[in-house]
């Protein structure tokens, strides 16, 4: 009985992560400029290949687990134990939804006035010829004192630099 519940939960999580991991590469297109992504792949090919291989491995394992738990004998045992047939559509919708919501939040947080300030400071530090994209913004408030720290990626065709910036508001 406990094993059947675990199978139902495991299949739900497998479907959730298959959907989320499949949506991640698409979401990446919205998280940062395409030119930055292409430059990262070109300059750091081994990192990109490793990430792609790990993603494909995770998808293969999760797909296998989901397929095995969807087999008729397993579903029959689960049904005989009193559990409903596992429907994973909602798990897949939830997985994609998490990626979409996280993407919307990241895009919203990294496209405001503070992101523009961060990229402006980084541009002053590294000089001309680079493109800029804020990837992290942290705000700390103590009383009426606000401190902002950010990481800005500066890139051109030859290099990618991570520029830490800080200012007080």
Neighbours of 33 (CB within 10 A): 15
Distance CA 116, CA 161 (A): 17
CB 21 within 8 A of CB 58: yes
Enter the pTM of the model: 0.76
Q: What is the pLDDT along the chain (169 residues), one digit of tens a residue?
A: 556 678 778 888 999 999 999 999 899 888 889 999 999 999 999 999 999 999 999 999 999 999 988 888 887 877 877 777 667 899 999 999 999 999 998 888 888 899 999 999 999 999 899 999 999 999 999 888 999 999 999 999 999 999 999 999 8
Distance CA 5, CA 82 (A): 10
* CATH for the stretch 113-168: 3.30.160
CB 146 within 8 A of CB 168: yes
- Model pLDDT, residue 129: 93
Judged by DSSP in three states, 165 sits in strand
Which residues neighbour 64 within 8 Å (Cβ) at sequence distance 6 or greater? none
Could you give the residue range(s) of every CATH 3.30.160 domain in the chain?
A: 113-168
Helix then strand then coil, in percent of the chain rounded to 5, is 65, 20, 15
Angle between helices 34-43 and 2-31 (to 10 degrees): 100
Judged by DSSP in three states, 22 sits in helix
């Amino acid at each position: 009985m406990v094993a059947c519940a675990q199978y139902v939960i495991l299949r739900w999580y497998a479907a959730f992560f298959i959907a989320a991991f499949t949506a991640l590469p698409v979401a990446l297109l919205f998280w940062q400029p395409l030119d930055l992504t292409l430059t990262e792949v070109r300059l750091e090919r081994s990192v990109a290949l490793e990430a792609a291989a790990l993603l494909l491995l995770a998808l293969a394992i999760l797909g296998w687990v989901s397929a095995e738990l969807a087999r008729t004998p397993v579903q029959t045992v689960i049904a005989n134990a009193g559990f409903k047939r596992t429907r994973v559509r909602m798990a897949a919708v939830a997985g994609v939804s998490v990626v979409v919501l996280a993407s919307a939040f990241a895009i919203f947080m990294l496209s405001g006035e503070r992101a523009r300030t961060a990229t402006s400071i980084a541009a002053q530090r590294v000089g001309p010829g680079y493109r800029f994209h804020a990837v992290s913004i942290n705000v700390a408030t103590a009383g009426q004192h606000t401190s902002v720290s950010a990481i800005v990626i500066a890139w051109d065709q030859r290099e990618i630099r991570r520029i830490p910036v800080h200012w007080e508001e």
